[in-house]
Amino acid sequence: MAFGIYIHWPFCKSKCPYCDFNSHVSDRIDHNQWKSSYLKEIDYWASLTQGRVVDTVFFGGGTPSLMKAETVADILAHIQKRWRVANNWEVTLEANPTSFETSKFHDFYAAGVQRVSIGVQSLYEADLKFLGREHSPEQARFAVTQAQKIFSRVSFDLIYARPQQTLQSWKEELSEAIQISKSHINGHMSLYQLTIERGTPFFTRHARADFEMPEQDLAADLFDMTGDMMGAAGMPAYEISNHAVPGQESRHNLGYWRYDDYVGIGPGAHGRLTQGSNKFATRGHRAPDVWLNKVQEFGHGMHPFDMVSPLARYQEALMMGLRLSEGVPVERLIQAYGASIDDILSKDKIASLVKEGILEESQTHLKTTQSGFRCLNAILRYIM
């Protein structure tokens, strides 16, 4: 079972109106204090997971490209000190394409980052503005091009199915994005449809009808077109919203979807950890100050662990696994549940989904079809 480490940097320069992640805007960040707290929590986690080999590290946020490169370097060095790490370990850092952050790419590379994931979101000025982003299309193009020169692997994100977006305009925008990505052989793109989340400014604005989201059929057409274009460009979807040249999939994220173990370090970071025959869900305190204080006091900023019940393990393995093109091995579901799943997974329901071309069933795997991906929530509601 793969083993990943997720490091959460909870700060952004500004909050994007669609984002419901644990991110905060702060003028005064004591970088030294943060660094020492991360190192402390690494010690805590390493003591709990002796013998595990680290396959991947992922710096997420927030905006981890706002971290000092030195902090990143020290964290990576500390991880290597506390755990054994795989020879081919994958180290990813999320970055925003402002010029300030782009200028730090060399230093991040020197710190040990091999792969960057850049939050481009759109190549159009007006849409970037709507999404509350701080960069321009030019800065975004430049950031990706720069990254491609420095890092061996580069991914970037786009958000589509935006208000008023047409099939034609997305086709043009995505075509350009594909061109940019293809100038590097190790292409990877995360293409998310905009969703309106509770507790975000967009939620309120949408509720007040300030803007209208694309209706179901258009959103479905946009999704299908995206899949077709990316497939034709040699970057097929390996997950609902993630596309890559084969071999360039994010190994860290695959770990989530394959229901592998990972530890979450930092404010609000989540983890899943197998201990013996049990699986624990872990989460850090969300508020940055609270987390810092807890780490100072106890050596970690975690809430008490929750044991994940066998049924919940099965549900999590299923809902994550069905997001992947490779599907979910039935064996993994049985393992997660710890017993036969015949009683909890209705053969009749699977058969009717297969009949409708929504799922595929092989000897070993359960797989969502291309058209099934569009309705995964409904599928899960139906079979869970």
Partner 1 sequence: MPSTPLHKIRNFAIIAHIDHGKSTLADRLIQSCGGLSEREMTEQVLDNMDIERERGITIKAQTVRLTYKGADGETYQYNLMDTPGHVDFAYEVSRSLASCEGSLLIVDSTQGVEAQTLANVYQAIDNHHEIIPVINKIDLPAADVEKVRTQIEDVIGIDASDAVCVSGKSGLNVDQLLEAIYKRLPPPKGDATAPTKALLVDSWYDSYLGVVILVRVMDGYLRKGMKVRFMGTGATREIDRVGIFTPKHIVIDELGPGEMGFITAAIKEISETKVGDTITEERHADKVTPLAGFKPSIPMVFCSLFPIDSSEFEKLRDSLGRLALNDASLHYEQESSQALGMGFRCGFLGLLHMEIIQERLEREFDLDLIPTAPSVVYKLDLTDGSKREIYNPVDMPEVTRIKAIYEPWIKATILTPDEYLGGLLKLCEERRGKQINLSYVGNRAMIEYNLPLNEVVFDFYDRLKSISRGYASFDYHVDTFIEGDLVKLDVQVNQEPVDALSMIVHRSQAERRGRHLCERLKDLIPRQLFKIAVQATLGAKIIAREDISAMRKDVTAKCYGGDITRKRKLLDKQKEGKKKMRQFGNVDIPQSAFIAALKMGDEK
**Closest by CA position to 324, among listed 206, 244, 265, 381:** 244
- Find the binding residues for partner 1 in span 277-296 (CB under 8 A): 281, 283
Q: Total residues contacting partner 1 (rule CB under 8 A)?
A: 49
d(CA 348, CA 346): 5
Q: How far is the CB of 108 from partner 1 (least distance, A)?
A: 21
One residue of 217, 297, 342, 343 binding partner 1 per CB under 8 A: 217
Three-state SS string across 201-269, please? HHHHHHHCCCCCCCCHHHHHHHHHHHHHHHHHCCCCEEECCEEECCCCCCHHHHHHHCCCEEEEECCCC
Nearer to partner 1, 185 or 380 (CB): 380
Q: Which is nearer to partner 1, 240 or 295 (CB)?
A: 240
- Lateral strand order in the sheet of 278-283: 237-239, 242-244, 187-193, 153-160, 115-121, 84-95, 53-61, 3-9, 261-265, 270-275, 278-283, 306-307
Considering only 316, 326, 360, 361, the residue that binds partner 1 (CB under 8 A) is 316
Instruction: Between 101 and 260, name the residue whose CB sits nearer to partner 1.
Output: 260
Residue 381 binds to partner 1 (criterion: CB under 8 A): yes
Kindly write out the interface string for residues 22-41 of this chain, putting x where it contacts partner 1 by CB under 8 A and - elsewhere: x-------------------
Query: 125 or 356, CB closer to partner 1?
Result: 356
Q: Is 262 in the site for partner 1 (CB under 8 A)?
A: yes
Reduced to 3 states (helix: H, G, I; strand: E, B; else coil), residue 323 is coil
Residue 269 to residues 38, 207, 225, 278, Cα–Cα distance (Å): 12, 29, 34, 20
CA angle 19, 91, 51 (to 5 degrees): 115
Nearer to partner 1, 62 or 184 (CB): 62
Can residue 376 be called a binding residue for partner 1 (CB under 8 A)?
A: yes
The pair of three-digit structure tokens given for residue 286, joined into one six-digit string: 């969300």
The answer to the question of residue 241 lying near partner 1 (CB under 8 A) is: yes
| Residue 380 sits in the site that holds partner 1 (CB under 8 A) | yes
Q: Which of 10, 64, 112, 264 binds partner 1 (CB under 8 A)?
A: 264
Judged by CB under 8 A, does residue 18 bind partner 1? no
**Nearest approach, Cβ of 180 to partner 1 (angstroms)?**
21
Assess 210 for contact with partner 1 (CB under 8 A). no
91 close to 40: Cβ distance less than 8 angstroms:
no
Per CB under 8 A, 223 contacts partner 1: yes
CB of 281 or CB of 334, closer to partner 1: 281
Specify the residue, 187 or 214, whose C-beta has the smaller distance to partner 1: 214
Among 179, 216, 275, 364, interactor with partner 1 by CB under 8 A: 216
Q: Are strands 237-239 and 261-265 parallel, antiparallel or unpaired?
A: unpaired
Q: For partner 1, which residue of 192, 203, 280, 305 counts as binding (CB under 8 A)?
A: 192
286, exposed or middle or buried, with CB in 10 Å at 0-12, 13-18, 19+? Answer: middle
Residue 208 has phi, psi (to 5 degrees) of -85, 5
CB 45 within 8 A of CB 6: no
* Contact (Cβ atoms closer than 8 angstroms) between residue 238 and residue 325: yes
Could you tell me which stretch among 84-92, 191-199, 287-295, 337-345 binds partner 1 (CB under 8 A)? 191-199
Residue 170, CA distances (Å) to 163, 166, 234, 365 in order? 12, 6, 18, 34
Residues that bind partner 1 (CB under 8 A): 4, 6, 21-22, 192-195, 216-217, 219-220, 223, 240-241, 253, 255-256, 262, 264, 268-272, 281, 283, 312, 315-316, 319-320, 323, 349, 352-353, 356, 358, 373-382, 384
